[in-house]
Structure 1
Amino acid sequence: MKILITAGPTREYLDDVRFLSNASSGRMGYSIAQAAIDAGHEVVLVSGPVALPVPAGCELVSVEGTRDMYDACLARFAECDGVIASAAVCDYGPRERTSGKRVKTGLPITIELVEMPDIIAELGRQKGQRWSVGFALEAQDPHRRAVEKLHKKNCDAIVLNRTTAIGANDNSIELIDSTDTTVAKWTGSKIDIAHRLIAWIVGTLAD
């Protein structure tokens, strides 16, 4: 099986120096890539900027912005059997990028933000007989919001994270399938959870 995996944060630049991003380390996505390789699968890893070693045996596609990740995923999805979208992409970015470095004036500034492309939603529209697993990081009413995201983005399953997962070595997740059923709750190291997730996908979505 060949799996497309997204990992890490994306960056949306305000000028040539400053950017909007988040604190994602990419560790969950890289752990999933490693687990998939350990299980004998091919991996295309589309990754935002992280400080992690690349799992041996995967094909790395390095990107920076959300649009870059969107384009890379759409270009490679056709050759894959499914996608695991664990990247913490920016939902919004500045409408315009200022050339050079914005000068400090001592006055307030207003920056107009626009929505970025929705990667997993577009892959969900295009998937056909392939499968897709999304990730949801929610703080308020997490289960309901994760289920809404699951259906809105046409995923076959979604992994519900808590905000404590950002940058941590361990995680506690809830796996929800397309019937809105919580089929698993796992707590432990990210690599252990990644192996469990790959095993579930192989036994449930890819058989």
Structure 2
Amino acid sequence: MSVSAYIDEVRRQKGLLTPAELIDLSGRGNLFYDPYSVLISARAVIGRDNVFFPGVYLFCTDGGALEVQNGNTFHANTLIEASNGRIRIGSHNQFGEGGFTAKANRPGASISIGDEGRYLNGASVFGETDLGSGSQLLGQITVDTCTLSAGGSFREADPDRRAGLLKGTGVARNLTVPVGQVAVGAGSFSASDLQPQSNFHPKA
């Protein structure tokens, strides 16, 4: 058996798209820098104009649902798994650099990610989490059942109108971050950590 035939057989057995099937997705504008190092479940719904760097994994089993819209960038070491819940990803988000993980892997799990967000440097998301449009996770942060309110992206000139932001390191659990607010953590995050983003990005 050739190497190519072996790869195709293993992927089909595991419910994954073959390299040729990934390349077929490029007909909708999707770009794969190395289709041999990207694993995407055949059950996943993939939109248009997404960019996949090497070492990206999008898994969706019979117990889950995974939908990706348009124009997202998935950097290396991005792992998204919908094995016991639903994950929906909007458009024009950046996952990584520095890695990103999202797992809907327990009963009742549901992860919703809006548009134009940034999730960088090892952030991980679990549970019933809503990352509203424009939200940001910057750092090795474990997010479990949190809400980051939708607002402007990091490009928004007025920091009071930007979406919720978490940055630093640690665990954020059952936390809501309103528009214009940021929590900076070093080990854990709580509502008492919230402060205006304008503290870091003064208004012009």
Q: Output the TM-score relative to the length of structure 1.
A: 0.23
**Structure whose residues are more often strand by fraction:** 2
More helix by share: 1
TM-score by length of 2: 0.23
Using CA pairs under 8 Å that are at least 6 residues apart, name the structure with larger relative contact order, 1 or 2.
1
